[in-house]
Amino acid sequence: MFYVYKKFGPDGTPCYVGKGHGNRYRDNGSRNADLRAMIAAGGVTTKIVKRGLTEVAALHLERSMIRAMGLARDGGILLNRTIGGQGVSGLRHSEETKRRISKNKKVHFANPESRVKTSEATKAAMARPETRSKVSEAQKKRFADLEERTAAANRRLGSKHPDETRAKIGQSHTGQKRSAEARAKMSSWQVGRKMSIEARAKMSAAAKKRFLDPAERSKATRKNTFVSAETRTKLSAAAKAQWARLKGE
């Protein structure tokens, strides 16, 4: 079920109307810039106006309330960007709308200042444990669906990062050490995991193709010189155990 809520400014005047479900009314991150600025200044409160609505009923009430109070840009009092009624769950944009959104995002991120602001805002959000937990749960739920995992893999199929991006990724990982807890989790995920014959065949073919390239072989050799003797021993033992298991299948 859905509800409609109002946000009030420090002086008690309504400043925003929205519809939602769950904890949407508490979410202050995904808001327009004007509302975020007011929230950051402090003193903004929220009140749920009506609960137990269908989504359609909530959208109608949201729109009627916004029209009654008016948008600030049109001489009203609300900081909403639109007159409401657009937020239907599961809504799919038309191809024309998607192209327009894509164009606007490209223009936005072409500006270095915009990229820095977006980056800083994302880092600040992900520094909060509750945000990381929400993202983690959403991703787990999303990728529990085989169809979604396949679609995500196909979207990346054949795509390659430019050299500059790859260098940045490599630099960000250099010297990075995972905590013992993180390593234990990664290890537990692999225990008892068996790849299908088809998956193993694909990995084998890809590795053979890659190592036919002298430059790739040289790169791999240079990387291995930086692996400690202890790590090489562990890798060797793990590989032998893996092959022993495969032969026993």
Number of domains in the chain: 3
Domain extent for 97:
92-127
Helix (H, G, I), strand (E, B), or coil: what is residue 245?
A: helix
Structure tokens at 82: 């639109």
Half-sphere exposure of residue 97, counting CA atoms within 13 Å on the CB side? 4
- 115 found inside a domain: yes
Q: Has this prediction a pTM greater than 0.85?
A: no
Pairing of strands 2-8, 14-20: antiparallel
- 107 found inside a domain: yes
- 186 found inside a domain: no
- 153 found inside a domain: no
Query: Distance (Å, rounded) from C-alpha 43 to C-alpha 185?
Result: 42
pLDDT at residue 78, rounded to an integer: 94
Q: Residues 46, 9: one domain?
A: yes
Q: Residues 208, 247: one domain?
A: yes
The pLDDT averaged over each successive group of 10 residues in the chain (249 residues) is 93 93 83 86 91 91 93 90 67 77 86 87 84 82 76 77 86 82 83 81 86 77 65 84 75
Q: Residues 96, 69: one domain?
A: no
pLDDT at residue 87, rounded to an integer: 57
pLDDT at residue 224, rounded to an integer: 55
pLDDT at residue 9, rounded to an integer: 92
Q: What is the CATH number of the domain that holds 29?
A: 3.40.1440
Structure tokens at 225: 């010189």
Q: Residues 24, 64: one domain?
A: yes
